[in-house]
Structure formats: structure tokens, C-alpha cells
Structure 1
Amino acid sequence: MGLAVFDIGGTSVKYAFWQEDDLIDKGSFPSPTTWVGMKQELRRVKEKYAEQYVVEGVAISSPGAVNQAARVVEGASALPYLHHFPIYDELEEMFGCKVALENDANCAALAEVWKGSAKGLDNVLMVVVGTGIGGSVIINGEVQHGAHLFGGEFGFMLLNETQTFSQLGTAVKMAQRYCERKGYPIGTVNGEEVFRLAETGDDIAAEEAEVFYQSLARGIYNLQYSYDPDLILLGGGVSNKPDILEQLEKRFELILKQVGIAPFVPKVETCYFKSEANLIGAVYNYMQQSNKIRGTENETIAK
């Protein structure tokens, strides 16, 4: 007995079967262009698993703002057909079993709390650095979605009078600024190349790399002293940079000297899970939601 697990992305859908505390029988397919096509592919995978295993339920990591109470996916994503209709109802009717969905960034954070770098910790923030800044808020072991489902949208934070965390604290934007200052077409140089150029004496690259490091450190510092979590996890491509934690540590020390009253440096670690994080987190979300449902049923019986 186990779960069929899906990680729905803008370009592809990963899947696996969760059995005996492990992901097995993994695969993927290109993300269909229509909801009808997506349902066909999801059903195909579930039926394939049903031939070999007992499928207890389906766990899904999804883009967008997953409203678990209303049982819809709000917001927007690269797959607009996922949004603003009774998606839970359609999927549960199609699969013939319970379905649990959660936002992809929240799934990644849940994976880390359950079995990764934040295992055993109750209060954790995840900062995901990609094209922009996103993330997740975990309090008492559970995702905090927020009143408007914007929990973890740290990229909206202003770091100066006009620019946000997303505009200043990503390697993607750093590379764009470098190209603009050099007069190159945007995309000619990527973030990894800017870091390399900064280390080999390119003054503009060094300046833009410093803006990136300072901004990322400032944003994380602000989050630490706003939420005071046990740990802040760093995810996204930049978390693979070998010296990223060392670079942040240097900027934290400078911030603490400037602020004076701040008594400690934020504790930051990179994520343990990479490509399978969303699948593992989707499983944990399914377990959490199942326990809540059982708890509600027990309360009703007791009454």
C-alpha cells in the first residue's frame, strides 16, 4: 500500500510511487498544454501503479497558491488551466481516492522539515532563490499559508525605497544588471559567469556580485529578526554555489556591526533535497492532511 505522487511543473511532471518510506518506480512526462491532456497522463500513471501496488491516495506538488480549505488552486502559474475551478473534486472523482495538493515551494520546505536539513525543527523558513525570491514559512511543523495565501512570498519585501528582494537578491537579476551596464544583450552572460568574472578582476562583475550578496544577506537578516525561526534554509540554483554560506556569513557580520543591538547571526543552511524535494514534501503534506481529517472525524464521533 502506498501513494501515487506527482510534481507538476511548467515544463514536465515528475512522478513516483511512495512505498515503505521510499520513492520507487519513478518517471516523468512533458507537461500537457490542456487540462484534459494533463488528466489523461495523470490517470495513465495512476492506473499503471494500480496494476502493481495498492494505491491508497494521490499526493501532488503543484504550482500556484493552493487553497486547501476551498480545494482550489488560486493565483497563477505557467499552467493556467490548473487554476480557479474545483480541481480536488475532479481529481478525486477520476482517481477514486483521496487527493492532497500543496504548493511546490511549500512541498520542498516540508521535505526538509520531515527528512532533510531541518529534520526535527518546528519553526523554519525556506528562501528559494530563482528568477525571483519565493519560499515557505513552517511554524510548529506546518505550512503557514497566510490570510491571502502569500505566506513565504518574501520577494515582495522592499530592501530600499524602490527595489524588492526579488529585484536585488537573485543571481538572475545580477546577471541582467551586469549585461545592461556592459551594453550586452540580456542573457548574454548568466549568474555563474558573473561570479567567475568577479573573481578574475572584472570591476563591474565584482560590484554586481556584491549587490547580490549584500541584498541576499539583508533579506535573510530581516526574516530572521521578524520570525526568529530555528533555521533558514536556502534553496534554488544559487544554493549549489560552494561558498554561498561563507559569503553570507561575511555580510551578516557587517550587518550586525552596523545595527549594533542585534545579538546573533542568522543560522542558514542549504537544502538537502534537490530534484526529489517536491515529491517527498507532497507525501508529507498528504500525511498531515490525512491526520487532520482523521482528527476531525474522531472529534465528530466523540460528540
Structure 2
Amino acid sequence: MNEPYVIGVDLGGTAIKMGRFSPKGDCLNALTLPTPQPPFPDQVVKVIAQGIQNIDPEDRALAIGMGVPGPVDAMGRIARRAINLDWYDVPISDSLEHLTGKPTVIANDANCAGLGEAWLGAGSQFKDLILLTLGTGVGGAILLNGELFVGRDGTAGELGLITLDYNGYPCNSGNRGSLEQHVSAQALRRRWGCEPHEMAERATQGDPEAIALWQEYGRELAAGIASLVYVLTPEAVIIGGGISAASDLFFPAMIAELEERVLPTSRHNLHCLRATLGNQAGMVGAAKLAWKYVKARP
């Protein structure tokens, strides 16, 4: 008997990653396609549907899970606002179901990355965890008792938008001094005048200024994480995204700062870990989303 599988799709502004996944998380086949430019919804859906046909020629997938950039509705049907796609209230699940005939569920891409890390990555030993993705912006995911926490409208878990500095730099969200405006790649370019990987190279080569800047980065990141730990008391904080490649440079300062800022009762057995799935986390988590959908509707 052929093993059942689902499709996981990670929709980004420049690329669409997709794969076929078994119930255990084995990737049976994968494909990466360029995101159509401009990314009009109907064109994007056609590309995704064609890609699915390529990796599932026997048309046996039980469901499709997809991560999209930005918040989605609580039912996992509508992309509420995808800034880098210029999408507003796009019923992407309906459109993809119409073309493929497969039940489809969507989630925020950072939530999918969190699901992926919790399933097959750094968070697989924990039920309560938070994920921060440190990239162009700062995304987040909250898993409580093994389930994504998305709030009553599906938009909870925007961890990068919490306030760090009341009078700080303006944020795209309308906030000021958000965590994102301190620790994202965009913020570091503005503050440091170079790419994060360039500053990492300098620090690795022993440049004292670069080493000090990364230590300051770790302390600022910890100040944001401290607020999250006090509210959620997770078992693990997982750090992903492109900047996590420099984790050796900022983790020691981050952990030391957390130990100062957070009461031992709130951080008992807290683990701070680097994500392990890299840029596959979103696709893996989207597949887990599809499996959860299938199991909830036998």
C-alpha cells in the first residue's frame, strides 16, 4: 500500500518552496519556483498549482498546507495582509482548492516555521516554545501544549512588534521602538551601516568594535525575549532566520542578560536554542499544518 502524503508550500516574495511529506515528516519530493512578478494572486495560484502537479503527478496528496507572509484569518483561509506581495484579504485557500481539488489550509509563515521546528527541528522535545525569526523583519510563533497559539482572529504571535523603546524608531506596524526596529537585518543596516554578515566576519576575525556590537545586540534581543518569557514561561526559545547564523557571537550575551532580567521562577529549565531546519522550516511546518488538518477531519 502506498504511504499517504500531503503537500507543504512556503510562499515567499521571491521564491515558492514546496514538497511532499509523509506522516513522519520525510520529504519525498521537493521543488522551488520563482514567485511571479508582479505577484498577482491568480498568477501565484497558477504557479503553485502547476508545481503541485509536478511533484504529485499521481494526484494522491490528501491536503495542502501553505505558509504566507503576514497575518491570516482564524480559519486558515484568507491572507489578510501580505505586505511584500501587496495582498489584502486574498481568499488564497479557495483559489487553490478550486484549481487542485485538494483541501487547503494556510498560516502565517513564521507560525509555519515554528510548527516545523516543533515537529522536526530544535523544538521537537518541547510542548511550550516560542520561535523568533531574525531576518529582514522579526517574525514569531507561539506553541502552547504543542498547538499554535494564534488568538481569536488568527493574528496573535507578532512577537517582533512588541515595544522595546517607547520613543524609538518608527515601525511599519505603526508602533515605535519595536523589537523588530532593534534586531532585524533592516535595523542593523540602518544602525551599523553594513550588512549583518559583514559585521559577523569582522567579529570572527577579532575586531573589538564588532564583537562589542554583537554583544549589545544579544542584550537588546534578551530585553525583548524577557517580556515574552514573563508572559508565556516557555520551555524553549528558538532563534531562527538569517541572523541566527551569527548566534555564536550574540548567544552568550543574550543568555547572560536573560538571567539578569528574568526571575528564576519564570525561566526554570528555559532552553535557548538555534533553529535547525534553516530555510526549510516554513515548508516543513506547512506540511505539518496540512497533517493537522487531515487528522482533524478523518
Would you call these one fold, judging by a TM-score over 0.5? yes
Question: Any conservation in 2 of the 1:125–1:229 contact (CA below 8 Å)?
Answer: yes
Q: Give the structure 2 partner of residue 201 of structure 1.
A: 208
2:156 aligned residue:
151
- The residue number in structure 2 matching 1:169 is 183
* Residue 172 (structure 2) aligns with: none
RMSD: 2.5
CA offsets, 1:243-282, max 9 Å, x none?
13223223234436xx799775842111121121111111
SS in 1 for 2:83: coil
Q: 2:291 aligns with which of 281, 284, 287?
A: 287
Alignment of 1:21-40 (within 5 A): 21=24, 22-32=26-36, 33=38, 34-40=40-46
Deviation at 1:210, TM superposition (A): 4.1
**Structure 1, unpaired ranges of 5+:** 180-188, 295-303
Q: Which of residues 12, 15, 19 is equivalent to 1:12?
A: 15
Structure 1 residue 72 corresponds to structure 2 residue 72: no
Secondary structure, aligned partner of 2:220: helix
Structure showing greater Rg: 1
Quote how far apart the aligned CAs of 1:207 are: 5.6
1:157, 1:164 within 8 Å by CA — same for their partners in 2?
Answer: yes
CA contact (8 A) 1:232 1:269 kept: yes
SS, match of residue 65 in structure 1: coil
**Contact residue 223 and residue 261 of structure 2 kept, 8 A:** yes
- Supply the distance in 2 between the matched residues of 1:40 and 1:253 (Cα, whole angstroms): 50
Check 1:194–1:113 CA distance in 2 against 1; reply closer, same or farther (3 A cut).
same
Q: Does 1:127 align with 2:132?
A: yes
SS at match of 1:284: helix
Deviates more, 1:122-131 or 1:164-173: 164-173
Q: 2:279 and 2:179 mapped to 1: Cα distance? A: 25
1:112: which partner in 2?
Answer: 117
1:24 counterpart SS class: strand
* Inter-CA distance 190–262: structure 2 relative to 1 (3 Å threshold): same
Cα offset, 1:153, TM superposition: 1.1
Is residue 224–residue 266 contact of structure 1 (8 Å, CA) maintained in 2?
no
AA of the residue aligned to 2:150: H
TM-fit CA distance, 1:49: 3.6
Post-superposition shift, 1:192? 2.6
For the pair 1:137 / 2:138, whether they are aligned, the reply is no
Task: Figure out how many residues of one structure are paired with residues of the other and give that number.
Answer: 280
The one-letter code sitting in structure 1 at the alignment partner of 2:273 is E
Q: Please state if 1:101 is matched with 2:124.
A: no
2:21 and 2:28 in contact (8 A); partners too: yes
Measured after TM superposition, the shift of residue 165 of structure 1 is 1.1
Alpha-carbon distance, 1:48 to partner: 2.7
State the distance in 2 between where 1:260 and 1:60 align. 38
Partners of 2:216 and 2:253 within 8 A in 1: no
Counterpart of 1:201, as a letter, is P
SS at match of 2:47: helix
- Do 1:174 and 1:208's aligned partners in 2 also have CA atoms closer than 8 Å? no
Match of 1:211 among 216, 229, 243: 216
TM-score by length of 2: 0.83
Task: Give the TM-score of the pair, scaled to structure 1.
Answer: 0.82
CA distance in structure 2 between the partners assigned to 1:196 and 1:250 by the alignment = 23
**Partner letter of residue 15 of structure 1?**
M
Change (3 A) 1:140 1:200: same
- Do the aligned partners of 2:114 and 2:141 also contact (CA within 8 Å) in 1? yes
Matched, 1:235 2:249: no
Q: Aligned residues: percent identity?
A: 23
Q: Distance in 2 between matches of 1:71 and 1:262?
A: 36
Instruction: Report which stretch shifted further, 8-17 or 85-94.
Output: 85-94
